[in-house]
Amino acid sequence: MARILVTGGAGFIGSHLVEFLLKEGHEVLCLDNYFTGSRENLLHLRDQPRLEMIRHDVVEPVMLEIDQIYHLACPASPVHYQYNPVKTIKTNVLGTLHMLGLTKRVRARILLASTSEIYGDPLEHPQREEYWGNVNCLGPRSCYDEGKRVAETLMMDYHRQNRVDIRIARIFNTYGPRMALNDGRVVSNFIVQALSGKDITIYGEGKQTRSFCYVSDLVAGLVSLMNCEEQTEPVNLGNPEEFTILELAHKVLALTKSASTLVYKPLPADDPVRRRPDISRAKAKLGWQPQVLLEEGLKATIPYFAEKLK
Ligand code: NAD
Ligand code: UDP
CA dist., res. 135 & res. 223, Å (int): 28
With cut-offs at 50, 70 and 90, classify the pLDDT of residue 77: very high
- At residue 93, the pLDDT reads 98
Q: Are 206 and 249 in contact (CB under 8 A)?
A: yes
| CB of 208 closer than 6 angstroms to any ligand 2 atom | yes
261 alpha carbon – ligand 1 mean position (Å): 31
Catalytic residue chosen out of the listed positions 119, 144, 175, 214: 144
Asked if the structure places residue 157 within a domain, the reply is yes
Q: How many domains does the chain have?
A: 1
Span 152-157, mean pLDDT? Answer: 98
Q: Whose CA is nearest to atom 17 of ligand 1?
A: 57
CATH number at residue 168: 3.40.50.720
Asked if the structure places residue 129 within a domain, the reply is yes
| CB of 202 closer than 6 angstroms to any ligand 2 atom | yes
187 alpha carbon – ligand 2 mean position (Å): 8
pTM of the predicted structure, to 2 decimals: 0.98
219 alpha carbon – ligand 1 mean position (Å): 14
Helix (H, G, I), strand (E, B) or coil at 40: helix
Asked if the structure places residue 33 within a domain, the reply is yes
Asked if the structure places residue 121 within a domain, the reply is yes
**Helix (H) and strand (E) counts for the chain?**
9, 13
| CB of 297 closer than 6 angstroms to any ligand 1 atom | no
- At residue 157, the pLDDT reads 98
Asked if the structure places residue 72 within a domain, the reply is yes
How does the average pLDDT of the chain come out, rounded?
A: 97
- One-letter identity of residue 87: K
Percent residues over pLDDT 90 in the chain: 100
Q: Are 247 and 286 in contact (CB under 8 A)?
A: no
- One-letter identity of residue 269: A
Span 224-247, mean pLDDT? Answer: 97
Q: Residue 53: enclosing H or E segment and its boundaries?
A: strand 51-55
With cut-offs at 50, 70 and 90, classify the pLDDT of residue 279: very high
Q: Which atom of ligand 1 is nearest to the CA of 34?
A: 11
Q: What digits encode the pLDDT tens for the residues 196-218?
A: 999 999 999 999 999 999 999 99
- Domain hosting 18: range is 3-178+214-239+276-291
Active site residue 70: no
Asked if the structure places residue 209 within a domain, the reply is no
Tell which residue, 219, 212, 183, has the closest CA to residue 275: 212
Asked if the structure places residue 265 within a domain, the reply is no
Asked if the structure places residue 184 within a domain, the reply is no
With cut-offs at 50, 70 and 90, classify the pLDDT of residue 124: very high
